[in-house]
Protein backbone atom coordinates (compact mmCIF):
# COMPACT_ATOMS: atom_id res chain seq x y z
CA UNK A 1 0.00 0.00 0.00
CA UNK A 2 1.34 3.38 -0.98
CA UNK A 3 2.07 5.85 1.76
CA UNK A 4 -0.55 8.56 2.09
CA UNK A 5 0.42 11.87 0.56
CA UNK A 6 0.89 14.93 2.72
CA UNK A 7 -2.40 16.29 1.49
CA UNK A 8 -4.20 13.09 2.49
CA UNK A 9 -2.70 13.32 5.95
CA UNK A 10 -3.93 16.90 6.22
CA UNK A 11 -7.44 15.76 5.35
CA UNK A 12 -7.29 13.01 7.89
CA UNK A 13 -6.15 15.37 10.58
CA UNK A 14 -8.95 17.79 9.78
CA UNK A 15 -11.36 14.93 10.24
CA UNK A 16 -10.05 14.32 13.71
CA UNK A 17 -7.19 11.87 13.25
CA UNK A 18 -4.53 13.34 15.45
CA UNK A 19 -2.00 10.69 14.52
CA UNK A 20 -2.04 12.05 10.98
CA UNK A 21 -0.41 15.23 12.16
CA UNK A 22 2.18 13.32 14.14
CA UNK A 23 2.98 11.52 10.91
CA UNK A 24 3.36 14.82 9.07
CA UNK A 25 5.74 16.07 11.72
CA UNK A 26 7.85 12.92 11.51
CA UNK A 27 7.99 13.22 7.80
CA UNK A 28 9.10 16.82 7.67
CA UNK A 29 10.86 17.65 10.90
CA UNK A 30 14.31 16.91 9.56
CA UNK A 31 13.82 19.21 6.61
CA UNK A 32 12.31 21.98 8.75
CA UNK A 33 14.98 21.66 11.39
CA UNK A 34 17.81 21.85 8.89
CA UNK A 35 16.31 24.86 7.18
CA UNK A 36 15.86 26.60 10.53
CA UNK A 37 19.32 25.66 11.74
CA UNK A 38 21.02 27.00 8.63
CA UNK A 39 18.90 30.15 8.72
CA UNK A 40 19.33 30.89 12.40
CA UNK A 41 22.77 29.49 13.04
CA UNK A 42 22.15 28.10 16.51
CA UNK A 43 20.62 24.80 17.55
CA UNK A 44 18.55 26.19 20.38
CA UNK A 45 17.04 28.79 18.08
CA UNK A 46 16.33 26.11 15.53
CA UNK A 47 14.62 24.00 18.20
CA UNK A 48 12.27 26.86 19.01
CA UNK A 49 11.67 27.59 15.35
CA UNK A 50 10.69 24.02 14.61
CA UNK A 51 8.19 24.07 17.48
CA UNK A 52 6.75 27.37 16.35
CA UNK A 53 6.56 26.21 12.76
CA UNK A 54 4.61 23.06 13.45
CA UNK A 55 2.34 24.65 16.01
CA UNK A 56 1.55 27.38 13.49
CA UNK A 57 0.87 24.75 10.86
CA UNK A 58 -1.40 22.88 13.21
CA UNK A 59 -3.44 25.96 13.90
CA UNK A 60 -3.67 26.99 10.28
CA UNK A 61 -4.15 23.58 8.74
CA UNK A 62 -7.75 24.36 8.02
CA UNK A 63 -6.88 27.29 5.84
CA UNK A 64 -4.21 25.43 3.94
CA UNK A 65 -6.38 23.90 1.30
CA UNK A 66 -4.20 22.94 -1.61
CA UNK A 67 -3.34 26.44 -2.73
CA UNK A 68 0.19 25.09 -2.92
CA UNK A 69 1.78 21.81 -2.05
CA UNK A 70 2.13 21.07 1.61
CA UNK A 71 5.91 21.20 1.40
CA UNK A 72 5.92 24.63 -0.18
CA UNK A 73 3.53 25.90 2.45
CA UNK A 74 5.64 24.38 5.18
CA UNK A 75 8.74 26.08 3.82
CA UNK A 76 6.93 29.38 3.75
CA UNK A 77 5.85 29.03 7.37
CA UNK A 78 9.36 27.96 8.40
CA UNK A 79 10.95 30.94 6.69
CA UNK A 80 8.49 33.35 8.23
CA UNK A 81 9.16 31.91 11.67
CA UNK A 82 12.89 32.27 11.03
CA UNK A 83 12.62 35.82 9.77
CA UNK A 84 10.63 36.74 12.85
CA UNK A 85 13.25 35.18 15.06
CA UNK A 86 16.03 36.98 13.26
CA UNK A 87 14.19 40.27 13.56
CA UNK A 88 13.72 39.76 17.28
CA UNK A 89 17.36 38.89 17.65
CA UNK A 90 18.17 42.29 16.31
CA UNK A 91 21.33 43.53 14.85
CA UNK A 92 23.60 41.39 16.95
CA UNK A 93 25.85 39.40 14.69
CA UNK A 94 27.77 36.28 15.51
CA UNK A 95 31.43 36.87 16.19
CA UNK A 96 33.45 37.50 13.14
CA UNK A 97 36.16 34.95 12.72
CA UNK A 98 38.76 34.79 10.05
CA UNK A 99 37.55 32.04 7.76
CA UNK A 100 40.00 29.39 6.69
CA UNK A 101 41.49 30.01 3.35
CA UNK A 102 40.42 27.53 0.74
CA UNK A 103 43.24 25.27 -0.46
CA UNK A 104 44.68 27.01 -3.50
CA UNK A 105 45.75 24.08 -5.56
CA UNK A 106 43.14 21.85 -7.05
CA UNK A 107 39.65 23.30 -7.15
CA UNK A 108 38.19 19.86 -7.65
CA UNK A 109 39.43 18.46 -4.35
CA UNK A 110 39.56 21.42 -2.01
CA UNK A 111 37.55 20.84 1.12
CA UNK A 112 36.06 23.57 3.18
CA UNK A 113 35.26 22.73 6.77
CA UNK A 114 31.50 22.57 7.21
CA UNK A 115 31.65 24.73 10.30
CA UNK A 116 33.20 27.46 8.19
CA UNK A 117 30.47 27.13 5.61
CA UNK A 118 27.88 27.36 8.35
CA UNK A 119 29.50 30.48 9.77
CA UNK A 120 29.83 32.03 6.35
CA UNK A 121 26.14 31.37 5.78
CA UNK A 122 25.33 33.37 8.88
CA UNK A 123 27.26 36.30 7.46
CA UNK A 124 25.33 36.69 4.24
CA UNK A 125 21.95 38.41 4.19
CA UNK A 126 18.83 36.50 5.18
CA UNK A 127 17.42 36.65 1.69
CA UNK A 128 20.59 35.15 0.27
CA UNK A 129 20.72 32.56 3.01
CA UNK A 130 17.20 31.40 2.28
CA UNK A 131 17.80 30.66 -1.39
CA UNK A 132 21.15 29.06 -0.68
CA UNK A 133 19.65 26.69 1.84
CA UNK A 134 16.53 25.90 -0.12
CA UNK A 135 18.24 25.38 -3.44
CA UNK A 136 21.80 24.25 -2.87
CA UNK A 137 21.37 22.42 0.41
CA UNK A 138 17.83 21.11 0.17
CA UNK A 139 17.60 20.83 -3.58
CA UNK A 140 14.19 22.46 -3.94
CA UNK A 141 13.23 23.46 -7.48
CA UNK A 142 13.11 27.11 -8.50
CA UNK A 143 9.35 27.20 -8.86
CA UNK A 144 8.79 25.92 -5.35
CA UNK A 145 11.28 28.36 -3.87
CA UNK A 146 9.66 31.20 -5.78
CA UNK A 147 6.29 30.28 -4.36
CA UNK A 148 7.59 29.83 -0.86
CA UNK A 149 9.30 33.21 -0.68
CA UNK A 150 6.85 35.05 -2.89
CA UNK A 151 9.02 36.29 -5.74
CA UNK A 152 9.19 35.42 -9.44
CA UNK A 153 11.32 32.51 -10.59
CA UNK A 154 13.74 34.83 -12.38
CA UNK A 155 14.37 36.65 -9.13
CA UNK A 156 15.17 33.37 -7.41
CA UNK A 157 17.72 32.52 -10.08
CA UNK A 158 19.53 35.83 -10.05
CA UNK A 159 19.37 36.02 -6.29
CA UNK A 160 20.86 32.53 -6.06
CA UNK A 161 23.77 33.53 -8.24
CA UNK A 162 24.51 36.64 -6.23
CA UNK A 163 24.05 34.70 -3.01
CA UNK A 164 26.61 32.13 -4.03
CA UNK A 165 29.09 34.88 -4.85
CA UNK A 166 28.44 36.48 -1.48
CA UNK A 167 28.94 33.19 0.30
CA UNK A 168 32.19 32.53 -1.47
CA UNK A 169 33.40 35.97 -0.47
CA UNK A 170 32.34 35.29 3.12
CA UNK A 171 34.28 32.05 2.93
CA UNK A 172 37.32 34.03 1.89
CA UNK A 173 37.84 32.19 -1.34
CA UNK A 174 40.85 33.45 -3.14
CA UNK A 175 40.36 34.65 -6.60
CA UNK A 176 41.94 32.61 -9.30
CA UNK A 177 42.52 33.37 -12.93
CA UNK A 178 39.40 34.90 -14.37
CA UNK A 179 39.21 32.66 -17.39
CA UNK A 180 38.29 29.57 -15.47
CA UNK A 181 34.95 29.04 -17.15
CA UNK A 182 36.09 25.96 -19.00
CA UNK A 183 37.07 24.27 -15.74
CA UNK A 184 33.65 24.70 -14.13
CA UNK A 185 32.24 21.27 -13.59
CA UNK A 186 29.21 20.09 -15.41
CA UNK A 187 29.50 22.42 -18.35
CA UNK A 188 31.81 20.53 -20.72
Span near other proteins by CB under 8 A; candidates 29-37, 69-77, 80-88, 90-98 = 29-37
CB of 88 to other proteins, least distance (A): 19
- Let me know: does 72 contact 7? Beta carbons within 8 Å: no
Q: Give the whole-angstrom CA distance, residue 186 versus residue 58.
A: 42
CB of 108 to other proteins, least distance (A): 9
101 binds other proteins (CB under 8 A): no
CB-wise, 90 or 111, nearer to other proteins? 111
Span near other proteins by CB under 8 A; candidates 26-34, 71-79, 81-89, 90-98 = 26-34
Compute CA distances 132 → 59, 102, 112, 173, whole Å. Answer: 29, 19, 16, 17
Q: Which of 57, 17, 52, 12 is nearest to 33 (CA)?
A: 52
Q: Which of 2, 106, 150, 178 binds other proteins (CB under 8 A)?
A: 178
Q: Which of 1, 3, 16, 106 binds other proteins (CB under 8 A)?
A: 16
CB of 118 to other proteins, least distance (A): 7
CB-wise, 90 or 109, nearer to other proteins? 109
Q: Give the whole-angstrom CA distance, residue 13 versus residue 61.
A: 9
Compose the 55-94 pattern: x for residues touching other proteins by CB under 8 A, - for all others: x--xxxxxx-x-----------------------------
**Site residues for other proteins per CB under 8 A:** 11, 14-16, 18, 21-22, 25-26, 29-30, 32-34, 37-38, 43, 47, 50-51, 54-55, 58-63, 65, 102, 107, 110-112, 114, 117-118, 132-133, 136-137, 154, 157-158, 160-165, 167-169, 171, 173, 175-176, 178-181, 184-187
Amino acid sequence: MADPTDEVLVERYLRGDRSAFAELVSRHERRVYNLAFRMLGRREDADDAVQDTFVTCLRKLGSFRGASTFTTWLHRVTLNVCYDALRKRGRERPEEEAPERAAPDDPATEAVASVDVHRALQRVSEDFRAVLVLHDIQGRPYEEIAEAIGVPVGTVKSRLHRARVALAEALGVEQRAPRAASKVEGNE
